[in-house]
Amino acid sequence: MAEPLPPGRHVEAFLEMLAAERGAARNTLAAYLADLADFTGFAAARGMAVHEADAETLRAYLARLTDAGLSARTAARRLSALRQFHRFLVREGVREDDPTELLEGPKTPRSLPKALTEAEVEALIEGAARLPGARGPLAVAVVELLYCSGLRASELIALPAGALRPDADLIAVRGKGGKERLVPISRRAREAMLAATAARSKPGGKTRPGGGSRWLFPSRAASGHLTRQGLGLLLKDAALAAGLDPERVSPHVLRHSFASHLLGRGADLRSLQVLLGHADIATTQIYTKVLEERLRKLVAEHHPLAREGVAGG
């Protein structure tokens, strides 16, 4: 076992490790310190040093957070800090066991980004078209494709050149777990991708998907294709050109907008599950709020007793 240290020094040593080994920022260190200081006070009130706390004390602490009205997200963050702290103690030989191993964290509701409106998506495409050089057609192509198909960023950048056929309305996509699915694409998206290919081809040269590369969206990166970072930056530039907040625009936001707009226009969850490539319908059910809103609107607009001015029977 390690030499005994004053209780506060264990926390200090943990923070020093975060700074030295993980390059944690000052704000991150301050947040960890605040979380561990709060637990230190709780453990001390129960006659226990912070580095000696058992699972029962930790459970009682989490229960107190809930009773105090803290959100599940905040409680989950504090539990994460405690887990990392106790793993550090075990690694350093201060403890032989990790009392956080069997603790269940608070269930945090899965959140979704705020979808763009249909008008904002059109504005984003127009902004993308204003980017200079070949970046304009490329930006239009990725926005059109992400929005019309709901592809994940990882799926889009890894599309092979052969995925695009000028006369095909479907593309084969390899999703999570290596599973393939066919995804329909719009005529606009197909034409935008062909235009992007043409824009990066040499004048007078023959144009074909990928422009000679094995990838549909090639780049000079080590991977040979557009990277996630490059894709994100391209969308941010398009957002700025469109006068939109770039923080609101990302591949995931366009995927969410695709799903939300489909549901808003009458699609069902099972069809959406197939289109998004979700292995489990439970994953798709995070969109039930969008569906519920559509159903409320449907009743409000079409149910005879929901209309204003309808006399009672």
Q: What CATH number is associated with residue 60?
A: 1.10.150
Cα–Cα distances in angstroms (integers) from residue 63 to residues 74, 104, 106, 190, in the given order: 13, 11, 10, 54
Give the tens place of pLDDT for each residue, 280-297.
Answer: 777 787 777 666 766 677
Q: What is the pLDDT at residue 208?
A: 44
Q: Is 214 a catalytic residue?
A: no
pLDDT value of position 3: 41
Residue 10 known to be catalytic: no
CATH number for the domain that contains residue 179: 1.10.443.10
Give the tokens for residue 148: 């019309």
**Which entry of 32, 61, 147, 287 is annotated as an active-site residue?**
287
Q: Active-site residue 261, yes or no?
A: no
Indicate which residue of 181, 248, 278, 294 is catalytic.
278
Predicted local distance difference test score (pLDDT) of residue 85: 93
**122 exposure class (CB count in 10 Å sphere: 0-12, 13-18, 19+):** middle
The catalytically annotated residue of 77, 135, 255, 256 is 255
Q: How far is CA 302 from CA 291, 295, 299, 306, 308, in A?
A: 16, 10, 5, 7, 11
Domain membership of residue 289 (yes or no) is no
For residue 130, the SS3 value is: coil
What does residue 221 show for φ and ψ, rounded to 5 degrees? -65, 165
Task: Provide the whole-model pTM.
Answer: 0.59
Give domain status of residue 295, yes or no.
Answer: no
**Intervals of the chain under pLDDT 70:** 1-7, 106-112, 166, 202-212, 289-291, 293-295, 298, 306-313
Selecting among 10, 77, 86, 152, the annotated active-site residue is: 152
Please state, in angstroms and as integers, the Cα–Cα distance from residue 291 to each residue in 45, 241, 252, 285, following that order. 48, 32, 19, 9
Q: Where among 251, 270, 290 does a domain terminate?
A: 251
Specify the 3-state DSSP secondary structure of 160. Answer: strand
**Given this model, what pLDDT does residue 306 score?**
64
pLDDT in tens, 100-143: 888 877 665 556 678 899 999 999 999 999 999 999 999 999 99
Residue 131 lies in a domain: yes
Q: Is 255 a catalytic residue?
A: yes
Task: Examine the domain organization and report whether 244 and 168 are in the same domain.
Answer: yes
- Are 176 and 237 members of one domain? yes
Q: What's the structural domain count of the chain?
A: 2
Q: Of residues 9, 176, 270, 307, which has the active-site annotation?
A: 176
Instruction: Give the model's pLDDT for residue 4.
Output: 42
| Same domain, residue pair 163 and 241 | yes
236 domain-assigned: yes
Determine the Cα–Cα distance for residues 274 and 253; give it in Å rounded to an integer: 19
Q: State the pLDDT at residue 294.
A: 63
User: Can you give the residue range of the structural domain that contains 211?
Assistant: 118-251
Q: What is the pLDDT of residue 210?
A: 44
Vertex 26, ends 24 and 27: CA angle to 5°? 100
Shared domain check, 227 and 128: yes
